């Protein structure tokens, strides 16, 4: 997980001037972020914390600008519109194979004061729990709820993580987004809507 914080430096103003300034800085920021993603071949989940803007038209303008700048990126990627908190969320698959995996990443929910396992290990943990449900608990059908951004990450590409799970475990499960979930929150439920209590042995530390 990569978190990029955008700030206006000494250019802060008041009123309409502040809104215009925020738009200009955010547009310049997404231009540079798109360039750096290709230059550094950054993969996984990227969250851009943009300067707050009040006008929906300006938010859409920044979103469209990022989509335009990412058009020539050969890596598979997905861009979500700005959230109400001014966050732009991107998933991107690396073009070059990753030879060194950092298993620790800065946590966006604690301002970098703590550490969580990387998204790679989070997906592995979900697969382990799915295996527990299907093969140990013998539950044939279940639903996995995750944050919309994680849902997008799991479904990215033709050979997505979800499709690989279908090949491994069959068609008896669904993956659905839940807007109320935090980034690494998840829940397994049966077809009656009851939460499945999976063993904690596979949970992330």
For the stretch 97-117, pLDDT in tens is 655 555 555 555 555 555 555
The reported pLDDT for the residue numbered 203 is: 46
Q: At 63, is the pLDDT very low, low, confident or very high (cuts 50, 70, 90)?
A: very high
Q: Percent of the chain having pLDDT more than 70?
A: 80
CA atoms in the 13 A half-sphere facing the CB of 119: 22
Is pLDDT above 70 for 35? yes
Rounded to two decimals, what is the model's pTM? 0.45
What average pLDDT score do residues 126-148 get?
A: 89
Average pLDDT, the chain: 80
Q: Which fold has domain 2-100?
A: Translation Initiation Factor IF3 (3.30.110)
In order of 12, 39, 51, 80, 183, the CA distances from 8 in angstroms are: 6, 24, 7, 23, 26
pLDDT score at 170: 82
Q: Quick one: pLDDT at residue 103? A: 56
Q: What is the DSSP string of 111-124?
A: TTSSEEE-HHHHHH
Of the candidates 77, 90, 33, 81, the residue with the CA atom closest to the CA atom of residue 60: 81
- The predicted model gives 70-79 an average pLDDT of 86
3-state SS, one letter per residue, for 155-177: CCCCCCHHHHHHHHHCCCEEEEE
Q: What is the pLDDT of residue 202?
A: 43
Pick from 23-37, 58-72, 85-99, 103-117: least confident? 103-117
Residues 157-166 pLDDT 10s = 777 888 888 8
How far apart (Å, rounded) are the C-alpha atoms in residues 60 and 82? 8
DSSP type of residue 50 = P
The DSSP code for 137 is: S
Predicted confidence at residue 107, as pLDDT, reads 56
Query: In the chain, where are the structural domains located?
Result: 2-100, 117-202
Average pLDDT on 12-34 reads: 81
Asked whether the predicted pLDDT for residue 152 surpasses 90, the reply is no
pLDDT more than 90, % of the chain:
13
């Amino acid at each position: 997980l990569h978190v990029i914080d955008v700030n206006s430096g000494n250019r802060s103003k008041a009123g309409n001037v502040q809104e215009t300034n925020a738009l200009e800085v955010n547009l310049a920021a997404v231009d540079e972020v798109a360039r750096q993603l290709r230059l550094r071949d950054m993969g996984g989940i990227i969250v851009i914390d943009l300067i707050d803007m009040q006008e929906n038209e300006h938010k859409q303008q920044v979103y469209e600008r990022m989509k335009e700048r990412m058009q020539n990126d050969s890596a598979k990627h997905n861009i979500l519109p700005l959230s109400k908190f001014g966050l732009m969320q991107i998933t991107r698959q690396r073009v070059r194979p990753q030879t060194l995996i950092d298993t620790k990443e800065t946590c966006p929910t604690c301002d970098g004061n703590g550490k969580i396992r990387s998204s790679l290990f989070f997906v592995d943990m979900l697969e382990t729990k799915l295996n527990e449900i299907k093969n140990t608990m013998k539950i044939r059908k279940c639903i996995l709820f995750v944050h919309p951004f994680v849902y997008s990450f799991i479904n990215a590409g033709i050979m997505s993580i979800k499709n690989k799970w279908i090949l491994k475990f069959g068609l008896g499960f669904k993956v659905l987004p839940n807007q109320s979930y935090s980034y690494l929150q998840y829940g397994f439920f049966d077809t009656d809507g009851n939460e499945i209590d999976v063993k904690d042995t596979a949970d992330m530390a």
